[in-house]
Amino acid sequence: MVLERIDYPKDLKSLNISELKTLAHEIRTLIIDTMSKNGGHLASNLGMIEISLALHYVFDTPIDKLIFDTSHQAYTHKIVTGRKKHFHTIRKYKGLSGFVSPNESPYDHFYAGHAGTGLSLSLGLAKSRDLRGQKEHVLTLLSDAPLSCGLTFEALNNISSSLGRFIIILNDNAMAISNGVGNLHTQILGRFTLPRQTRKEAKAFFQQFGVRYKEPVDGHDIGALIAAFEEAKDKEYPILIHALTVKGHGMTRAVEDPITYHGVSPFDPQSGQIHPTPPKSTFPKVFGKHLLKMADKDHSITAITPAMPRGSCLDAFMEKHPERCLDVGIAEGHAVTFAAGLAYGGHHKVVVSIYATFFQRALDNLFQDVCLQNLPIIFALDRAGLSPADGTTHHGIFDISFLYAMPDMIITQPRNGDLLKDLLESAFSWKRPVAIRYPNLACEETDRDQTYRPLAVGEILAEGEDIVLIALGPMYRTALEVRKILQQNGIQATVVDPIFLKPLDKALFLDLLETHTHFVTIEEHAVTSGLGMIINSFLTEHSKKAIKVQNFGLPDRFLEHGDYTSLIQEAGLSCEKIASEILLNFTREEITIPYEDRALS
């Protein structure tokens, strides 16, 4: 096998074209085999193999800087940059990240989980290089629709026509995670055999930014790619190489259904058939199904997603009501401000479905265009909490902090599917911006009718006289298990689901302050800026007696990837760990409001 001889990019340089083709086949087999066990980003990586090999063959990485814009397609890069022996651990706890990670290798320069950052980072690197008088190449790999992201255009606008040894590789597979959207996609990108007029349009488009455009090359022809990179290598102007690829190349099922096979769960490596899993309700599925039910009855309901229709479970809505379910591409800021314009005047009920980690990219739009205008838009924040296999760049664990800073913003989190449906039905009546957070986890759901939820009303799930356990969303299950352990030790706990983080149910918590002196918060969010912060502030303001407070949440550091149970255990959020910490502190007299993760200290 050729792959057995390859550990680092220098090993590629002795191979001939025939051996490189064999290597590409072997890597394709390795990726399919590994993803069949681990799950992961499959189709995009199968389309990137030849480009990755050709880049490392021609250039001298890591001296020459290879910058990924969206790095879920960096598997081949990882395999040939010293991580082949550990590739079987990818996306596993304590294993390789599914994205580029500077902690892993000097060949990885920036974390890159979100699209649109690559070109700006590369321009900064090139400026630093030129100021130092160095000569290394800066290579930007654009893939999976970064040209639908405004930050890419801001970077294009700042490229100097005299910027040398600066090469942009556009991996054009005609898609993002789902099908590409927008004018640029329909006019220039996504055609494997580009007609002469389209090539002319593409050339004119990029050259207006001072970037020389090289006519499309077959992104699976490694010889043609090497020739194109060698030709562009030492040019004293910026150049874009347009590589046309097929998402899922080399695996029939992935080519036929690149959306499903973009990110896969384990499957049969021979047939490609994804292993069946028992059907279950999850928060995203409940959201998508119920929003469609609401939209069928109320034609003023409109949904917006920034390139996540499948992940957010809006695909059925989009198919049935395409004029009212809108994918705006990888453009989170535009999605939020567009929603503001759509909601203005009150003619439409607007729901923006967006992953919690991606919502961070639209903070100013939320502030200026929604909250300042007090527009009653519902933000359905999917993946709020840990995103286990994706890890650091994708955990939705910081959103409460910036949402809470917005005046008149309503923040709520349901503990189960029924409550999620109640909140969706009720939210427009509150006449303010609303964020409904929920994780990508299984949840309980029944066929009961929906109940109107008044604003800022929480619930007591169990009563006790000794201690209050305040649990956010699905963490109520953990709180109930902690309650059982405490009962076995003679301590009776009240369990509270606040439902609303802002505004808080003040009447409920004032009553609890009258009868309890020990409060515990439990959340799957950064402990420094979520539920614990909110409850601590409330208790500090309103308590007239000595109280004890313990906060359990995710530690104040960036968390890696892994399976959900391992990450929860590492963070000290298992019911056993929480109960033991409470028992250690229950008899102490001092007030304790910790902001560090004591379970990890």
Amino acid at 153: F
Q: Is the Cα dihedral 393, 267, 104, 164 positive or negative?
A: negative
- Residue among 305, 526, 504 at smallest CA distance from 399: 526
214 is catalytic: no
Distance CA 439, CA 435 (A): 13
523 is catalytic: no
CA distances from 185 to 15, 51, 89, 202, 209 (A): 36, 21, 35, 11, 18
The catalytically annotated residue of 92, 165, 361, 432 is: 361
Interior/surface letters 249-263, b for 16+ CB within 10 angstroms, e for the rest: bbbebbbeebbebbb
The catalytically annotated residue of 28, 78, 83, 332 is: 332
The catalytically annotated residue of 247, 253, 483, 502 is: 247
- Residue among 300, 255, 254 at smallest CA distance from 273: 254
Distance CA 522, CA 529 (A): 13
Q: How does DSSP assign 357-370, residue by residue? A: HHHGGGHHHIIIII
User: What SS3 class is residue 20?
Assistant: helix
Q: Give the H or E element holding residue 129.
A: helix 118-132
Question: Tokens for 256?
Answer: 């036929």
In sequence order, the β-bridge partners of residue 171 are 143, 243
Contact by Cβ (8 Å): 86, 45: no
User: What SS3 class is residue 496?
Assistant: strand
- Helix pair 506-515, 531-542: axis angle to 10 deg: 60
Distance CA 572, CA 600 (A): 7
* Rounded to 5°, angle at Cα 175 from 442 and 323: 70
Contact by Cβ (8 Å): 522, 573: yes
50 is catalytic: no
Chain centroid to CA 103: 19
Residues 6+ apart with CB under 8 A from 64: 136, 137, 138, 139
> What residues are labeled active site?
247, 332, 361
